Structure 1
Amino acid sequence: MTRRIATLTTLLVLAFAAPAAAQGGAFGPLPSAPVPTETPQQNTNATDNGETGQTTLFIILGALLVGFAVMGVLITRDARNKAPEIVTAGPVVPEGTGARKPHTQAAKKKMRQKTRAQKQARKAHRR
């Protein structure tokens, strides 16, 4: 299927490229310039001087400010609605603050025994 699509697109590109090549060389001589003709005088009684009035600019500025404010409100409202709700079982302790849960005496005893066993294993393998 992809081979057919590739063949078809290649043929289409070549079909459109053939008329473009027949238009002539791009580096040939330039045609002569057209002869200028006189244009009739335009009416100079028009009152439009091409400048935008100050009130128009203030109206556009106001519309932009209102538009940006509406977009900001809609974006924040949507973000608040889509935010996941965080449920915690106990007091929240920020991560990285170093606050740890204290170990029980039994857990400490078990860790010490494990450490001693590792130390004995290292000593046994040294020989």
Structure 2
Amino acid sequence: MEFQANYKATNMAEVEQSNRVVTRTVKWQPPNIVFYKLNTDAAFDVNSQRVGLGMIIRDHLGFVLGASAQTVVANFCPQIAEALAIFRGLTFVVESGLIPVVIESDALEVVNIINSSENVSPEIGLIV
């Protein structure tokens, strides 16, 4: 039962419109035919000070070519954990030769840092 609740929470997004809430399904979008797609994410358990890092890579048809999940005992800020998930995913992609690749992450702040040419904090800069 808990798995089902987690699945629904992960795959459904609530969009607030005026004073009502609309629920819509969030669906994976395939990359262009010549690309692979790397999806990464990080999760936090504040009580146990554990960080979960995950990544999955698929081809344009959606076939899973690799996936990984790892738990790290650490007290990272969310941006560092998300950056580390992207870094680990990219390391896997390069070592496996699964390039060119499109990277997708829900960590907008980290994505903006990666795409920016501005200086960033040393902690995140070491990862990205």
Task: Give TM class, smaller chain.
Answer: under 0.3
TM-score of the pair, normalised by structure 2: 0.18
If you compute each CA radius of gyration, which structure gives the higher value, 1 or 2? Answer: 1
TM-score, length of structure 1 as denominator length: 0.18
Greater helix fraction, Structure 1 or Structure 2:
1
Which one has a larger percent strand, Structure 1 or Structure 2? 2
Higher relative contact order (CA 8 A, sep 6+): 2
